[in-house]
Each structure stands twice: as structure tokens, then as C-alpha cells.
Amino acid sequence: MREAVIVDAVRTPVGKRGGVLAVWHPTDLLAHTMRTLVDRAGVDPTRIADVIAGCVLQYGEQAGNLARWAALGAGLPEHVPATTLDRQCGSGQQAVHFAAQAVRCGDYDFAIGAGVESMSRVDLGPLFNPADGLGPWYGTRALARYNGTLCAQGPSADLVARKWGLTRDELDGYSAESHRRAHAATESGAFARQLVPVTADGAPDTEPITRDEGIRAGIDPAKMAALKPVFAEDGLITAGNASQISDGAAAVLIADRAAADAAGLQPKAVIRATAVAADDPILQFTAILPAARQALEKAGLAIGDIDRIEVNEAFAPIPLIFAKEFGVDRDRLNTNGGSIAIGHPLGSTGARLLTDLVYALELAQARYGLLVVCEGGGMANATVIERL
């Protein structure tokens, strides 16, 4: 039976909106990331069967199937096709899943799953500004089905926090710890090997960026507590306990295990299971629970078997409800911080988190990792990997 393995994975440092990566056209940023991946992995580019890239805000500079133009910009052979997908915040993870599925069924021997988002250069619109109202993509039938109760993700995060009885202090405390862990990981060099050498001005002779821009070395609890709720006067979600609006890219080389071995490559991990699930589109974030359960069942594992767990920190309630439902202690969950501290460039986050998980297992000499990413509309993806 064919196995899909992760040969290598890389990601850019994450830049704040309007920050160090704002100068980069998103297609060029993805191209640079994929070129780094191919060169580092040592794969013959002519053997890459497809490039699959996630991107959420697909208009302006991110329209027109940017994956194809990024592949050409990366110098990949013209015969290598590419496609761009949108599974909301899990787009980069879904890109890897599609690549792995094609490898396992025998259609591909090598493929790239990737993701990119420039939230500096592409307007966020109603996706992130509740004052703009709901976006135009729902259609009348979906709106009618839910009797006008559909809402943007921020208000949904408030609903989830209330349903699970989470307090503002819990959300803020979790968020401060995300920054502390991300800062510690940065200082220890935990991210160093996964970072693409990218510069703030795009010039190759400039000193590369070596840190994620949004991480804070110290969080003042009083200042965090003083932040006003964003989505309702009595809400729990603030700018401090939500993910940062950011820029970034990530790319993962997926291969058939036998093909990688024959090519003299040394894979880092094998993908043991993938899953996608959907749940209540009003609460939006609860699908992480069935998605994780499905992936664990497919892998023949229990949550206690998993050494490192990544649950995307779109908002602080998400990893907290996961920890409550699965009885997971914080020693295994988001050990290097997450999107609250590092940032959340939508289309790239799933691939970035998978990259971090691969290297976290490697550094800890641990065996199993689980990645779960919540997605707009009440969906979620889950991936189980095993370090090789």
C-alpha cells in the first residue's frame, strides 16, 4: 500500500499587517517559498506532478489561480500544473491533504501542498469587519435556512466561549501564554530550520528576517484585561485573545514513500490519517471535535497516543474547548505558541502549523502529532502524522 510522506516543509516568518512582508506580492512570496522547498529537499522539479495551494481572499493580487503563477515564478517546469483552493483557515492544510490523497491513490509520486495570504495587500472586507455586515457569498437560501442567525467568525467565537463557560480571564491567560511560548521557541531556535530566508525589501542581499513579527516578549496582564471586546459590549473576544491579521506563506513536499526512497530523499514524517468535518455554521468552530475524532479513528490511535497537538488559535476559545473535550493538558497542546502570538495569514496557516508540528516532533524525538484547524462556515480539517 502506498504511503504519503512529508519530505520537507518550510514557511516564511509571519509578518504583521502592514509590516515586514507587506512589500511582497503574495504570488512572489509563495514562489520564493516553493523554490526554497524544492532546493532544500533536493527533489527533481520535473517529477513534481502538481502544486496545490490554499488562499482565502482570492481577489485583487490573489485572484487568477495564483498557484500557477507562483509555480512558474518559482522556476518549476512549465509542464507542472497548479491549482488554488479555499477551505477558509484550513486551506493550506487541505492543500496538503489533497496532495497526500493523490499520492496514496497512485496519481502522483511527488506534489507540493502550500498556502499563502497577504492580508496587507488584499482587502479583508466583511470577512473581518462586522460593520460591513455579512458578506455577499451566502445566498438567500442559506440565510433563510438559518433565519438570519448566521454571523461573522468573531461573534461565533463569543458564542462558543459562552457555551463552554469560558471566562475572559481564561481567554486572556491562554493568549498571554501563547506569546510566552512563541517567544521561548524563537529564542531557543525551535523555528530556525523551518524558516525561508526572506527579506523585508525583497532584495537578496538584505539581511533575512529571522523572527515572526507579531510575537511579544512580555504581555502586561493589566493592559490585556483593559482591551475592549470587539464584537459586542459584553463580549469576551478582544484583539488580545484573537489571532493576528498577518502575511505569510508555507509549502510542504509530499511524496510516495517508495518514490522518495528511490530518489535518495529522506522523509521527515508519514501522514497516517486525514479528515474533514462540518458542524453548526452559527457556532462555526465546533467541527474541530468530530474532525479530530475521525482522524484519530482512521489512524487507529487515541488522544493519549499523541505527543504533540496543534489546534489553530483563530480565537482563544478554540484550543480551550478542544482541551476540555479531549482532556488534554497544556504540555502537549500548542507547545510553541500559535496564531494569537505568531499570526494567522489565512491561506497559509494550515501548512505553517503542519510545518511546525513536523519540526516539533523532530526536536522532541516524539512519535505522533495531530493538527486540527477550524474553518469559516463550521468546518475543520485534521491530520495525524508520525515522525520517521
Distance CA(297)–CA(97), nearest Å, equals 17
Alpha carbon of 142 to those of 41, 149, 156, 278, 279: distances in Å?
45, 10, 17, 15, 14
What number is the average pLDDT over the span 45-54? 98
Q: What pLDDT is recorded for position 185?
A: 97
Taking 70 as the threshold, does the pLDDT of residue 36 lie above it?
yes
Catalytic option among 32, 97, 183, 344: 344
Q: What pLDDT is recorded for position 296?
A: 98
Q: What pLDDT is recorded for position 162?
A: 96
Asked whether 305 and 368 are in contact (CB, 8 A), the reply is yes
Q: What pLDDT is recorded for position 134?
A: 74
- One-character DSSP codes across 343-354: ---HHHHHHHHH
Q: What pLDDT is recorded for position 139?
A: 86
Taking 70 as the threshold, does the pLDDT of residue 69 lie above it?
yes
- One-character DSSP codes across 45-69: GGG---EEEE-S--SGGG-S-HHHH
Taking 80 as the threshold, does the pLDDT of residue 359 lie above it?
yes
DSSP label at residue 207:
P
How wide is the angle at C-alpha 346 spanned by C-alphas 18 and 31, nearest 5°? 75
The C-alpha cell 507587506 sits at 22
Catalytic option among 55, 89, 151, 179: 89
How wide is the angle at C-alpha 250 spanned by C-alphas 105 and 318, nearest 5°? 90
The C-alpha cell 518550510 sits at 10
Distance CA(117)–CA(357), nearest Å, equals 20
Taking 70 as the threshold, does the pLDDT of residue 209 lie above it?
yes
Conformational region of residue 147, where left means phi above 0, alpha means psi within -120 to 50, and beta covers everything else: left
pLDDT interval class at 204 (50, 70, 90): confident
Residue 25 falls in the annotated catalytic set: no
Decide which of 204 and 379 is more confident: 379
Residue 374 falls in the annotated catalytic set: yes
Q: Is 181 exposed, middle or buried (0-12, 13-18, 19+ CB in 10 A)?
A: buried
pLDDT interval class at 132 (50, 70, 90): low
Q: What pLDDT is recorded for position 127?
A: 60
Asked whether 196 and 36 are in contact (CB, 8 A), the reply is yes
Q: Give 60's Cβ-side CA count (13 Å radius).
A: 14
Catalytic option among 55, 151, 183, 374: 374
Supply the mean pLDDT for the chain. 95
What number is the average pLDDT over the span 322-332? 96
CATH fold for domain 4-123+245-262? Peroxisomal Thiolase; Chain A, domain 1 (3.40.47)
Taking 90 as the threshold, does the pLDDT of residue 62 lie above it?
yes
Reduced to 3 states (helix: H, G, I; strand: E, B; else coil), residue 199 is: coil
Q: What pLDDT is recorded for position 221?
A: 87
What number is the average pLDDT over the span 252-263? 98
Neighbours of 341 (CB within 10 A): 28
Residue 344 falls in the annotated catalytic set: yes
Note the pTM of the prediction, 2 decimals. 0.96
Tens-place pLDDT, residues 279-292: 999 999 999 999 99
Short-list 196, 193, 194, 215, CA closest to 204? 196
Percent over 90 (pLDDT), the chain: 88
Beta bridge partners of 269: 6, 387
Residues in Cβ contact with 185 at an 8 Å cutoff, skipping those fewer than 6 apart = 191, 335, 336, 337
Q: What pLDDT is recorded for position 130?
A: 56
Q: What pLDDT is recorded for position 183?
A: 97
Short-list 3, 2, 4, CA closest to 253? 4
Domain residue ranges in the chain: 4-123+245-262
Q: Which three cell numbers stand for residue 167?
A: 471566562
What number is the average pLDDT over the span 145-171? 94
What number is the average pLDDT over the span 100-124? 96
What number is the average pLDDT over the span 256-281? 98
Q: What pLDDT is recorded for position 286?
A: 98
Alpha carbon of 224 to those of 129, 169, 321, 341: distances in Å?
21, 10, 21, 13
